[in-house]
Structure 1
Amino acid sequence: MALDFGKLEKLHIVAYRKPDYSLTSIAAPPFFALINPETYTYKYKIEFCDTQAPGTSGVNLKFNKMPPQEFNFDFLFDSTGVIQSIFPLALPVTEQLDIFRHSILQYQGDIHRPYYLKIHWGTLLFKGVLTAMDIEFKLFSPDGSPIRAIARCSFKGSIEENLRLALENRMSPDITHQRIMKKSDRLPLMVKDIYDDQRHYIDVARFNNLDSFRRIADGTEIKLPPVQ
């Protein structure tokens, strides 16, 4: 089957009622962009505690947290007739904006918050919530009605709590890990990868009732317990 590399894919947003982004929690049909954005921006931040004692010349920055990533892009709305509309009827720009706001911005009484959102476009897949939207009206009809507008949208990433805990803990030395030995594996290196210190390999070998840490059969399950 030949791939159609020339097919135009439109950026679209899907709204969800639940933070697990499950198919059963989809709230409405996808909202498609009229025109794909020329650019979009990701912003990542890491926050450190930089409290410095009086009389000192420097400080060892200590990790505090990683705020959610931020994502920004612009949506175009148009009723000039120059651009083919994404709506089945030729709706005024104000009505297009009302539909957009209801889809992604408006407070939803059944879930007591706005929807969770998933943004798709090509390789882009962003999960989060809308945090701000600035609307700039660009063109007007003779009677003063807006016929073109740009909605500048800002989003922040949102992750389900169970998934966040799993991602944060998957390499933590404070939980039990399981590994399957392969021919290329070495127990001291495996231990260092988990604990950031290979000195515990003797304890790990003893915990797993191994006769030798050098000769471990391929396929052996190794448990790496929490550091005490």
Structure 2
Amino acid sequence: MGSFFSGSDDGISRLTITSHKKLTCTDEKVNSFEVQMNPENVEYSFGIEDPEGSNNKKGKNNSLLATPGSSGGPPAVFSGYQKMVMDFKFYADATGIVPVKDSMKEQFFLDDKKTPSIRKHLDLLQNTVYGYEPEVHGPPYLKLVWGNIFPDTGNDNKEKKPAVFKGTLESCTVKIVLFSLKGEPVKAEINLKLKSEIAPEARPMGNSPDITHHVDISHGDKMTMHCERIYGRYDSKICSAVAEYNNLIDWDLKPESKMVFPSIHLLNQEYLDNYEDMEVRPLDEQSEYEQMVELIGEKRAKQHFKAFPFKTGEA
């Protein structure tokens, strides 16, 4: 213990946080933050999505939530995994009691290089985890590395040590516990809470149509391709139902976006009927499309004509 406080600790593996523009965190880092003192403990949690708290409640009735063995409809089905949440606490100290790496010393002094302060250190933390990235229209994605401490949120069996936690900030609490006579913060307690952004989507869940699938859309992906893979069919009706579930007015998928392909039970219960039982009125003075807009609204009308490309304006 004595050598730790009296000498350099450059050989110690420290928790490092880097910010990125891509969800995979494989691009060049935007900012990088290294803790002065590693957390004393790390707590993380994960779980299974509760069907009663999912989109299964959305729609006209809740028969999908019936208990196994009941006659009110199909049993509640597995809908997916919850995002992993992790939180920990660490300290920053410029009193001189705790050693500081040579590469980090400028973060623990003011510009005069004489007055102790952790302000720059705290600013770097905030800019790293809380900054705004125009390319992702929000805060950056974060990658945390600290030896083999963290759980792997990518669920990639090929990923080797060190373990990497990838996610985004949920909350950060900074408690200044000591000030200098000049009014500078010199010691702080920092609590970080992060949520994974990859786990639910990346977990290998197979292609079963009975569960909800979260899909990261890549360049060239088509609605029909994913519907065939998940549901075993890619007709216009099921594509339109999936589009409606995701609040889309067409089937065009945007690269680097996310799509939810709900269980086939939910589609059958709440969405496919919208296209199976659609009644089309004869043409009057208005076009068929204008009539459908009056009947069901513009969004549903666009979906309907995607599923049923009827000829209009002809006798």
Shift of 1:164: 2.5
1:161-189 deviations in Å (ceiling 9; x for gaps):
9x738x233xx356xxxxxxxxxxxxxxx
Is residue 83–residue 199 contact of structure 2 (8 Å, CA) maintained in 1?
Answer: no
Shift of 1:160: 8.6
Give the root-mean-square deviation of aligned CA atoms: 2.7
1:88-132 deviations in Å (ceiling 9; x for gaps):
323322221111100111212344221111111111221111110
Is residue 84–residue 199 contact of structure 2 (8 Å, CA) maintained in 1?
Answer: no
Q: Secondary structure at the match of 2:23?
A: coil
Q: Which of 67, 84, 108 is the equivalent residue of 1:69?
A: 84
Compared with structure 1, are the counterparts of its residues 168 and 61 closer, same or farther at alpha carbon in structure 2 (3 Å cutoff)? closer
Query: Which whole-Å CA distance do the structure 2 matches of 1:9 and 1:101 have between them?
Result: 22
Task: Determine whether 1:88 maps to 2:113.
Answer: no
Query: Which whole-Å CA distance do the structure 2 matches of 1:135 and 1:76 have between them?
Result: 9
Query: Which whole-Å CA distance do the structure 1 matches of 2:175 and 2:183 have between them?
Result: 14
Query: Which whole-Å CA distance do the structure 1 matches of 2:66 and 2:135 have between them?
Result: 47
The residue number in structure 2 matching 1:98 is 123
Q: Which runs of 5+ in 2 are unaligned?
A: 1-10, 53-64, 110-116, 151-163, 210-315
Q: Which of 129, 153, 158 is the equivalent residue of 2:168?
A: 129
Shift of 1:26: 2.0
TM-score by length of 1: 0.60
Query: Which whole-Å CA distance do the structure 2 matches of 1:88 and 1:148 have between them?
Result: 15
The residue number in structure 2 matching 1:139 is 178
Q: Which of 178, 188, 195 is the equivalent residue of 1:156?
A: 195
Is residue 19–residue 160 contact of structure 1 (8 Å, CA) maintained in 2?
Answer: no
Q: When you count helix as a share of all residues, which structure comes out higher?
A: 2
Q: Which of 18, 21, 27 is the equivalent residue of 2:25?
A: 21
Is residue 79–residue 148 contact of structure 1 (8 Å, CA) maintained in 2?
Answer: yes
In the alignment, residue 164 of structure 1 is paired with which amino acid? Answer: A
1:131-150 deviations in Å (ceiling 9; x for gaps):
10011111122344321011
Compared with structure 1, are the counterparts of its residues 46 and 173 closer, same or farther at alpha carbon in structure 2 (3 Å cutoff)? closer
Is residue 48–residue 61 contact of structure 1 (8 Å, CA) maintained in 2?
Answer: no
Q: When you count strand as a share of all residues, which structure comes out higher?
A: 1
Compared with structure 1, are the counterparts of its residues 48 and 111 closer, same or farther at alpha carbon in structure 2 (3 Å cutoff)? closer
Q: Secondary structure at the match of 1:127?
A: strand
Q: Secondary structure at the match of 1:67?
A: coil
Aligned residues: 157
Is residue 88–residue 192 contact of structure 2 (8 Å, CA) maintained in 1?
Answer: yes
Q: Which of 147, 150, 168 is the equivalent residue of 2:205?
A: 168
Compared with structure 1, are the counterparts of its residues 61 and 168 closer, same or farther at alpha carbon in structure 2 (3 Å cutoff)? closer
Q: Secondary structure at the match of 1:126?
A: strand
Q: Secondary structure at the match of 2:188?
A: strand
